[in-house]
Homo-oligomer: A and B are copies of this chain.
Amino acid sequence: MPSRPPAVIGAPVGGIETPALVVDLDLFDANVKRMQAAATSAGVRLRPHGKAHKSPDIARAQIAAGASGICCQKISEAEAFVAAGITDVLITNQVVDPAKLTRLPALASQARIGICADDPLHISRLSEAFAGTGREIDLYVEINVVKGGGRCGVLVGPAMVSLARMAAEASGLRFAGLQAYHGRAQHLRTPAEREVAVGGAVSLVREARELLAAAGLPASRVTGAGTGTYLLEAHSGVYDELQSGSYALMDADYARNEPGSAGHFAHALKLHATVISTAVPGQAVLDVGLKGVAVDSGLPAAEGLTVRGVSDEHCVVVQPEGSPLACGDRVALIPGHIDPTCNLHDWFVAVRGGVVEALWPIAARGGGL
């Protein structure tokens, strides 16, 4: 159960308690529409990543706009989305703990659920978890599409084909296709760098599809891509589905990408904060720190302000020349990285025309079991 929300519906923006994550609904709606239009016009499905926002309300808005379902990273996230009525969820991650896996058949009785594997252990444990339940799960073999790096994902080759065969033959599993996400490409700064990186991923996916087809195990779906590269995968001819997530709300790190042909999405999310101290000359201190904003991808940004540093409970900004901030003033920050920042809060405050229109629980947040 989340904590008390920082606002009431109908309140003016200035009446929101801080720190609070505030969503501008006009900008949000436009972002959601734009990504969906890009997917639709390229003839691919959009399955937005829920790990960015962890909000069933945002997932519902994305599905209402045309998305085919939602992605998430943990079984606990999938449970939160399914409990809120989302009926198609792909867990783009590996799970090995048998105690966690036993929660999946119940989920699969309420929604279409998919999950990834890059090791025989994942498949054998999943099959054990589904044995005798009469339920099935979509199994995506995750392939590593990052040259010389990456995190999870089997190398394209015989081991990948073996996993696909094992999935196709295991009871309780449907071999559904390939998970092929190039995480590192999302934050390469120039369009040319991103093209080279995704070009490499596309070659590997093509090779993987050919190997699987030759083995009589066609990949009916290949899913991947993110906000930094979605047009490349959409028009690759080998991806069927996009997993972009950050586009709906955006953050300062994605805005540091040179946009290329796709342009930037709007900063629909701001972190509202209040000045609590101006006692040290030349600076103002805000009522939010590391416990309200993640700094793994850089400091938060703020229009007309320079953020000097973030500590546990405080954010220090340089006093602007001419119009210094005073205690009680409000500041709107753009978080450096949206995913871990949203994870720190229990609520989005959704605002239109300066008035609070909705309160969205960040229901899938948390360290996550």
Contacts and interface: CB of A to CB of B under 8 A. Distances in A.
Interface stretch (A27-35, A115-123, A217-225): A115-123
A6 B276 CA distance: 37
A76 B119 CA distance: 44
Interface residues of A, number: 70
A119 to B, nearest CB: 5
Contact of A291 (B118, B312, B343): B343
A155 B283 CA distance: 13
B296 A310 contact: yes
A256 interface: no
A97 interface: yes
A301 to B, nearest CB: 17
Contacts of A314: 151-152
Contacts of A20: 367
A73 B369 contact: no
Contact of A279 (B144, B313, B346): B144
Contact of A276 (B95, B154, B296, B337): B95
A122 B46 CA distance: 50
A316 to B, nearest CB: 6
A285 B340 contact: no
Interface in A212-258: none
Given A18-B97, A339-B312, A150 B280 contact: yes
A191 B364 CA distance: 44
B3 A369 contact: yes
Contacts of A37: none
Given A291-B368, A367-B292, A369-B3, A276 B96 contact: yes
Nearest to A297: B290
Nearest to A144: B280
A74 interface: yes
Interface string A276-310: 11111100010110111011100000000000001
A313 B367 contact: no
Given A290-B296, A311-B183, A344-B343, A19 B367 contact: yes
B96 A367 contact: no
A100 interface: yes
Nearest to A73: B313
A73 B314 CA distance: 10
Contact of A313 (B3, B51, B313): B51
B280 A327 contact: no
Given A274-B96, A274-B97, A345-B367, A280 B312 contact: no
Given A17-B97, A121-B328, 16 more contacts: A93-B276, A94-B276, A94-B277, A95-B287, A96-B274, A96-B328, A97-B328, A121-B327, A151-B277, A151-B314, A155-B279, A155-B280, A288-B367, A290-B296, A290-B339, A295-B296
Leading 5 A-B pairs by shortest Cβ distance = A118-B279, A152-B277, A290-B340, A94-B276, A1-B1
7 contacts: A18-B369, A19-B369, A97-B328, A119-B327, A151-B285, A153-B277, A154-B279
Interface of A: 1, 3-4, 6, 17-20, 51, 73-74, 76, 93-97, 99-100, 118-119, 121-122, 142, 144, 149-155, 183, 274-281, 285, 287-288, 290-292, 294-296, 310-314, 316, 327-328, 337, 339-340, 343-346, 365-369
